[in-house]
Chain A
Amino acid sequence: MKQEIIIAGFGGQGVLSMGKILAYSGLMEDKEVTWMPAYGPEQRGGTANVTVIVSDERISSPILSQYDTAIILNQPSLEKFENKVKPGGILIYDGYGIMEPPTRKDIQVYRIDAMDEATERGMAKTFNMIVLGGLLKLRPIVEIESVLKALRKTLPERHHKLIPLNEEALRIGMEIIKSVEV
């Protein structure tokens, strides 16, 4: 198993932390992982992206030309990464951030209205976990239990009370992700 994933959106959406949680969950299952951020003079509202690779084998390049899966959370990122999804690969986008949806017919496109759902339920801060839930529904790269284990391991103790909320967010994401006909 090897999954090469790009997660891209606005700074402040939790792009980097979603990638980190995914990478850490892979670590919990003793998989090989890399997490490579596009670092720079980043700021809230600017663009942010991270490449995450989870694999059973040793990973060569942390930087990729093409991805198995792209998680796209804003329009500029769609323009940048739509053509970098491998044929047959998956593109997941959040309906709120995308005005002009993807057009490729040789990939599987999914929409997840995570931002709307998160806002409606008053759990805006779990937006990225809803998206991660959607990804794990389509690509069970890691077990949900490993994600929770990763959260327990990485979150400071005082935030552990929020873990059930994050678990709920993951389950919501799994329910609301839907296939899109292009």
Chain B
Amino acid sequence: MAEEVVLMKGNEAIAHAAIRYGVDGYFGYPITPQSEVLETLAEQKPWETTGMVVLQAESEVSAINMVYGGAATGKMVMTSSSSPGVSLKQEGISYLAGAELPCLVVNVMRGGPGLGTIQPSQADYFQTVKGGGHGDYRLIALAPASVQEMADFVGLAFDLAFKYRNPAILLADGVIGQMMEKVVLPEQRTRLTDEEVIARCPWAANGKTAGRKPNIITSLELDPAEMEKRNIHLQKKYAEIEANEVRFEEINCEDAEYLIVAFGSCARIAQKSMELARAEGIKVGLLRPITLWPFPSKAIAARAAQVKGILTVELNAGQMVEDVRLAVDCKVPVEHFGRLGGIVPDPDEVVNAIKTKLIK
């Protein structure tokens, strides 16, 4: 059968992709601009087809703790929310990371701080890649820039989460969540059987068989010597992820004299700005981090050797720019352009920022 191309919102694509990827459970609570994830799941009724559980919890806090419970049994479970809701989930996320549980958290960001606005934002970058919850932990953070990637990254996030026994987060924003584009959905997979789950997750708490030691899922360890060992183990795992899982896309970088670094919706806007700038003879390239953690520091450092200046474009007051500066290590000027609180810049504003901040 020829693959079916459909037109849908990014949020809807996440829901369809989750069903088709054989996800076992979704636990969420509605919040704009991501409510279509839960709405689409409710419309599709996957509990009647694949057997996937879809549950509207009483709050974001319950939803993330239901994810903890489901993940502890080795099931593929996820939640989604938007910025204020994801703040509520942070304690649970830290526990999931501490207990090394694979899961998917989706954040379709809106403007903050506080209850903020419902318009698009990327101001949760720090929260996503620098902690958010307490303790030395990392989330595998994927930043989709299209509706197709909203669909594709659901499966990728689960693959990585299970490969490393670590929570993964899909960091989108109101633009990617609300816009409609063409998308080819993954083929329908059947959910894993209980036997397959046990084989994939020998660590999971899914019923002790005779002869094996009990599997204990916890983030608590009162003996500091043991807790340090656990932390060292986590850091070793994070180093492995950093070595193996960096993903990014480069467009027109070969001859670039100026480089834009942008992720998600801003990468799309910046790509248009690049086209406009190139039409004026300004050689601009675009480097789009796909994984925000692990961050493509080496790729950015490599381009820094070639360009005269770097501009990050973000829907925030300057967050990813800090990681770009660390990567570049003062070799070239690194500037930031952003709009705040739910305002999205148009491509002309970014071209103007290239001229005023980089070329001068």
- A interface list, Cβ under 8 A from B: 20, 23-24, 27, 30, 32-37, 39-41, 59-66
Contact = CB atoms under 8 A, between A and B. Distances in A.
B175 interface: yes
Contacts of B347: 61, 63-65
A40 B7 contact: no
Interface of B: 5-7, 32-33, 118-119, 174-175, 178-182, 265, 268-275, 344, 346-349
A32 B180 CA distance: 11
Contacts of A65: 346-349
Contact of A27 (B182, B348, B349): B182
B7 A35 contact: yes
A64 to B, nearest CB: 6
Contacts, number: 71
B182 A41 contact: no
A34 B272 CA distance: 14
A59 B269 CA distance: 10
Contact of B181 (A20, A34, A66): A34
A24 B8 CA distance: 10
Q: Which of A20, A30, A36, A66 has the most CB of B within 10 A?
A: A36
A62 B118 contact: no
Given A23-B7, A36-B175, A64 B182 contact: no
Contacts of B178: 36-37, 39
B279 to A, nearest CB: 13
A64 B7 CA distance: 20
Contact of A33 (B182, B265, B348): B182
Nearest to B276: A65
A41 B118 CA distance: 8
Given A62-B181, A62-B265, A63-B265, 19 more contacts: A23-B7, A27-B5, A27-B6, A32-B182, A34-B179, A34-B181, A36-B178, A37-B179, A39-B32, A39-B178, A60-B268, A60-B275, A61-B270, A61-B271, A62-B175, A63-B346, A63-B347, A64-B346, A65-B348
B180 A23 contact: yes
Contacts of B348: 65-66
Contacts of B179: 34-37, 62
Q: Which of B181, B274, B275, B347 has the most CB of A within 10 A?
A: B181
Given A40-B119, A61-B347, A62-B175, A34 B180 contact: yes
A61 B182 contact: no
A44 B271 CA distance: 34
Given A24-B7, A33-B7, A33-B182, A64 B175 contact: no
B268 A39 contact: no
Given A23-B7, A61-B347, A65-B348, A35 B271 contact: no
Contact of A40 (B118, B180, B265, B272): B118
